[in-house]
């Protein structure tokens, strides 16, 4: 990263956008290696909110018999209303462009209020089955609340909760256990639902960019769309491999181009990784199809070189992407 920054500074100097004195001052400033605590403080605030909401859940679990359901629900509702009251009181109101609170601490109160509302709806459904057997409503209502809070208060963290809730509403499991046990999309119907949801998220980013509605949210939508479509298509490569291969190729090309337009190195890296996994699965199916058992020893010997070359190419692609991004910033 330091190399790209130095190259960027040299480019600015060569284009006479900065003087030699300014170039030296920039180099001296970078040599100070000043460490900012801003990200660490934000992380601690996020952890405090998560620990607070988790603590409420543990408190409910350990004292559910002694406190009583009505008292617990009343306290949850009271705390949630208080949080939302201060959020609305200090908010600037809904704006189409990027906005926020004057004091960033209120952002974490919005996150706490949203999580508490999700806990409240889930608890009341679990204990009293308020929505009957329509369990999807218990997921859909917190999702709607999260989307409203994300757009009204301009909160990316709450938006991730909303999109995750939307995926859960259509039956997608996003837990690490489901991923490791290959149960992320247990049926073909869920795989197609995941692809459809990913396409809808992409369509929403296009529409929101057209009407200039919270354009900075598009990165989150695109990230979810990339993972949903890619994992679903890779999951289907063993069955309907031709259609899945076409979908994976189209989505990889789209996200490859989009990652340069945003730009986003994480979107670019995951696109390359998913395309690489899909390509290797297709190569594996091809070797099985041509019955390459006789070439087993050759394949085994060539595998380490193939992996090393793949890693080198991946690193070169990332370096070229960062260099392109740095040049775009200069322009």
Question: How distant is the alpha carbon of residue 279 from its chain centre?
Answer: 24
Q: What is the pLDDT of residue 177?
A: 45
Q: What is the pLDDT of residue 74?
A: 87
Q: Which long-range contacts (CB under 8 A, 24 or more apart) does 284-292 make?
A: 285/237, 285/238, 285/241
pLDDT tens profile 12-39: 777 777 787 777 777 777 776 666 666 7
State how far the Cα of 67 lies from the Cα of 308, in Å rounded to an integer. Answer: 60
State how far the Cα of 11 lies from the Cα of 267, in Å rounded to an integer. Answer: 27
- Which of 289-323 are b and which e, b meaning 16 or more Cβ less than 10 Å from the residue's Cβ? eeeeeeeeeeeeeeeeeeeeeeeeeeeeeeeebbe
Contact 199, 225 (CB under 8 A): yes
Q: What is the pLDDT of residue 3?
A: 62
Can you spell out the DSSP letters for 211-222? HTSSGGGHHHHH
User: For all residues of the chain together, what is the average pLDDT?
Assistant: 82
Contact 160, 146 (CB under 8 A): no
Tell me what the mean pLDDT of segment 283-305 comes to: 77
Nearest one of 201, 205, 263 to 230, comparing CA atoms? 201
Question: How distant is the alpha carbon of residue 84 from its chain centre?
Answer: 25
Eight-class DSSP state of 236: T
Measured over the CA atoms of residue 142, residue 143, residue 149 and residue 152, the dihedral's sign is negative
pLDDT category, 217, cuts 50, 70, 90?
very high
Eight-class DSSP state of 294: G
Tell me what the mean pLDDT of segment 208-221 comes to: 93
Task: Return the number of other C-beta atoms located less than 10 Å from residue 111's C-beta.
Answer: 23
State how far the Cα of 4 lies from the Cα of 263, in Å rounded to an integer. Answer: 16
Statement: residue 304 has pLDDT above 60: yes
Please write down the HEC assignment for all residues of 270-290. Answer: HHHHHHHHHHHHHHHHHHHHC
Residue ranges in the chain assigned as alpha helix (H): 2-14, 20-31, 38-62, 64-67, 69-90, 105-128, 135-153, 156-169, 176-180, 188-211, 218-235, 241-261, 265-289, 296-330
Nearest one of 61, 55, 109 to 84, comparing CA atoms? 109
Residue owning tokens 């099985």: 288
276 or 186, which is more confident: 276
Within 8 A by CB and 6+ apart from 152, the residues are: 91, 93, 94
State how far the Cα of 83 lies from the Cα of 109, in Å rounded to an integer. Answer: 6
Model confidence, pTM: 0.80
State how far the Cα of 96 lies from the Cα of 227, in Å rounded to an integer. Answer: 27
pLDDT tens profile 100-114: 777 778 888 899 999
pLDDT tens profile 100-157: 777 778 888 899 999 999 888 888 887 777 777 777 788 889 999 999 999 999 999 9
pLDDT category, 180, cuts 50, 70, 90?
very low
Statement: residue 300 has pLDDT above 70: yes
């Amino acid at each position: 990263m330091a190399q790209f920054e130095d190259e960027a500074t040299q480019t600015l100097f060569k284009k006479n956008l900065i003087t030699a004195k300014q170039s030296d001052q920039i180099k001296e400033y970078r040599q100070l290696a000043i460490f900012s605590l801003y990200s660490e403080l934000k992380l601690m605030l996020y952890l405090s909110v998560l620990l607070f909401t988790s603590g409420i859940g543990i408190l409910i679990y350990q004292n559910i018999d002694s406190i009583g359901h009505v008292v617990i629900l009343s306290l949850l509702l009271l705390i949630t209303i208080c949080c939302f009251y201060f959020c609305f009181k200090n908010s600037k109101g809904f704006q189409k462009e990027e906005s926020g609170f004057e004091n960033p601490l209120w952002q974490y109160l919005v996150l706490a209020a949203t999580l508490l509302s999700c806990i409240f709806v889930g608890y009341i459904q679990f204990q009293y089955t308020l929505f009957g057997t329509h369990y999807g409503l218990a997921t859909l209502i917190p999702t709607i609340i999260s989307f409203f809070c994300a757009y009204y208060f301009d909160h990316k963290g709450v938006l991730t909760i909303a999109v995750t809730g939307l995926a859960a509403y259509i039956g997608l499991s996003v837990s690490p256990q489901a991923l490791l046990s290959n149960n992320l999309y247990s049926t073909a119907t869920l795989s197609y639902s995941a692809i459809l949801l990913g396409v809808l998220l992409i369509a929403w980013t296009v529409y929101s960019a057209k009407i200039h509605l919270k354009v900075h949210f598009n990165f989150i939508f695109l990230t979810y769309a990339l993972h949903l479509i890619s994992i679903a298509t890779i999951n289907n490569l063993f069955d309907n491999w031709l259609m899945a291969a076409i979908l994976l190729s189209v989505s990889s090309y789209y996200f490859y181009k989009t990652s340069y337009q945003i730009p986003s190195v994480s979107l670019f890296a995951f696109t390359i990784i998913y395309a690489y996994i899909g390509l290797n699965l297709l190569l594996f199916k091809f070797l099985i199809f041509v019955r390459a058992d006789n070439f087993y020893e050759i394949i085994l010997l060539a595998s380490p070189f193939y992996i090393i070359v793949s890693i080198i190419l991946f690193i070169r692609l990332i370096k070229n992407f960062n260099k392109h991004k740095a040049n775009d910033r200069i322009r």
